[in-house]
Amino acid sequence: MTLPNLFSPFAIKSLKTSCRIVMPPMATNYASREGLVTEQQIAYYLARARGGVGYITVEHTGILDQGKASPFMLMLSTDQHMESFRRLIQAVHSAGRPIVLQINHAGRQTASAVTGQPIVGPSPIACPTRAEVPQELSAGQIADLVQAFAVAAGRVKAAGADGVEVHMAHGYLLCSFLSPFSNQRRDEYGGSLENRARFPVQVLRAVRQAVGPEFPIICRLSGEEYVPGGLVIDDTRQIARILEAEGADALHVSACNAASGYLNHPPYYVEEGVFLPLAQAVKEEVGIPVIAVGRIRRPQMAEQALAEGKADLISMGRALLADPNLPHKARAGRLEDIIPCVSCNNCIKTLRAGQVRCTVNPETGNEERLRVTPAQRPKKVWVVGGGPGGLKAAEVAARRGHQVTLLDKGAQLGGRMRLAAAPPHKEVFSDFLAYLVRRVEAAGVQVRRGVEVTAQMLAAARPEAVILATGALPARPAIPGLEASGALSVDQALAGPPEGIGPRVLVVGGGGVGAETADYLSDLGRQVTLVEMLPEVAADLVGHLKHYLTLRLKNKGVALLTNTKLKELGPGWALVEDGSGERRLEGFDALVLALGARPDDRLAQAVAGQGLALKVIGDAREARGVMEALVEAQEAALQI
């Protein structure tokens, strides 16, 4: 497939690109606590620059400590910060790519514990996702902030960047003035749309004065906020016209604020390209370039959006976390070699816990540590287990020059990931699994399916290195009546024929796996009851996924029994206990247990003491997720 529009050049004033793919600003938490650029950050952006992106937009960067969004946010509040950016900018330029810096003030979407001072906003109204009430900014304070944006923009230019993006989206300070959801002022900065836009317009004018007439200025907007009383597309159309008249050179059209729920980072439940209509609506209003964003994970969709005139440039965010080389691969027609983003939002979950990582790409954030290099000498390597961890370990070891044999007891590769792709909207995991299998084949790995590896086989073959990726087994806790109840494991429920499961089903265990299994069974037309001992279902999923999945289950009529503990099981019934005491749930045709998993370490235990150079990875080591399995797989393969 050719992609003529996607790989045509474009320019925003002096900012010239060789293709229409933009890396949008995405927080990483890779900065130092002082807000300085780190070597880890440089390696991360350099990988994307080398991958052929049109231009890179650096993650949101604070103009003042007062507007710091997180403890490890990049900052431009001093000349020292500017100097640290020079190294990043030079690195990206060395790869032949332009770089834009986004400047921001978090406003009410931060905390005084982060900023060290009271948080501020247009009105003393707390963000619904936070408890802290901001101080209302005075006209004098607004004037000071206008100047702070201008100074930061001047530093962007002085550091050698190719453009500046002013963050007016996502509920942060400038967006919060634009939106009636957060702005209830009665002075010249509130009320009418013209008044609400006054502060952002003043910032744009001051930034223009600071950087001069030819330096590209991009404004990022939320086309819709998807909250009651928030910005809607008709507002944003007018705002776009105002900003164009005031000298903005391009508009980057996103959506949402912190209170917008799952649409903040559209997960796999949401249609691809969900915000493209917003970009198209803005493009119809203005004559300056418009950049689209929002779950555009495939080059084919980006090409179609450009061909249909919906936007001039396409931001591909999580897709570039998954594969920094997506642009080069797409340009060469190697679409099947692209690591597919699965829209699982583990990047968001890991960001909130520490630093951004990617489920499908262990090298994200580990660009130097997990860089694949040739082995010192080829070795005979066995990888046991054909799930995602085993597939990744085999591929990387083979790429390093080892003679690799992958053995799996199943007729098909994939392990439990084949089951993970069964629930509604999770077909994207099948895409990733197919990618892993293709990479193993391309690397020249010898694959042996239908082989149950034993300690005796390993002793006889004597491979120089062994990686055990034998996965996990469903947990079978000591529940009275379990064996006689005929309860199915999640694996059995997802893998077995649907007609084998009767009309009324009880699912015990409402974590992410149990909730998705309930969703799957409900889609089959079953009447499902879900029992969970915690106060909410899907508690282990990132907030956006949890929010959407919970709403989906409720809307489909799944009975959610939270704060409910399983006491005993029997054929078609369960004894549970909640705040009202014990009660018996009866009349079920099938019972499904989603109570976690345990490592399948039987082979590891059997070969202990044989003197093998053995590495145990993934669920065989500890039952967790795909992301951990892939990281450990790459680590193991690099250590051979």
How far apart CA 557 and CA 527 sit, in angstroms, is 8
For residue 172, give Cα distances in angstroms to 67, 182, 347. 9, 10, 20
Q: Maximum Cα–Cα distance for the chain, whole Å?
A: 83
How far apart CA 489 and CA 166 sit, in angstroms, is 51
Q: Which tokens belong to 188?
A: 């010249």
For residue 413, give Cα distances in angstroms to 317, 450, 489. 30, 10, 20
Tell me which residues are annotated as active site: 172
For residue 546, give Cα distances in angstroms to 261, 542, 552, 625. 10, 6, 10, 16
Q: What is the CA radius of gyration of the chain?
A: 26
Q: Are strands 573-578 and 565-570 parallel, antiparallel or unpaired?
A: antiparallel
How far apart CA 387 and CA 413 sit, in angstroms, is 6
Beta strands in 434-521 (DSSP E): 446-449, 465-468, 472-474, 488-489, 504-508
For residues 421 and 430, the answer to whether their CB atoms sit within 8 Å is yes
Beta strands in 200-284 (DSSP E): 217-222, 250-254
CA 158 to chain centre: 32
Spell 510-539 as b/e; 16+ CB within 10 A means b.
bbbbbbbbbbbbbeeebbbbbbbbeeebbb
Environment class of residue 328 by beta-carbon count within 10 Å: exposed (0-12), middle (13-18) or buried (19+)? middle
How far apart CA 85 and CA 58 sit, in angstroms, is 10
Residue 251 has what DSSP assignment? Answer: E
Q: What are phi and psi of 102, to 5 degrees?
A: -95, 130
Q: Which of 282, 293, 287, 192 is nearest to 247 (CA)?
A: 287
Give the 3-state secondary structure of residue 404.
Answer: strand
User: What is the dihedral sign for C-alpha 139, 144, 150, 153?
Assistant: negative
Residue 264 has what DSSP assignment? Answer: G
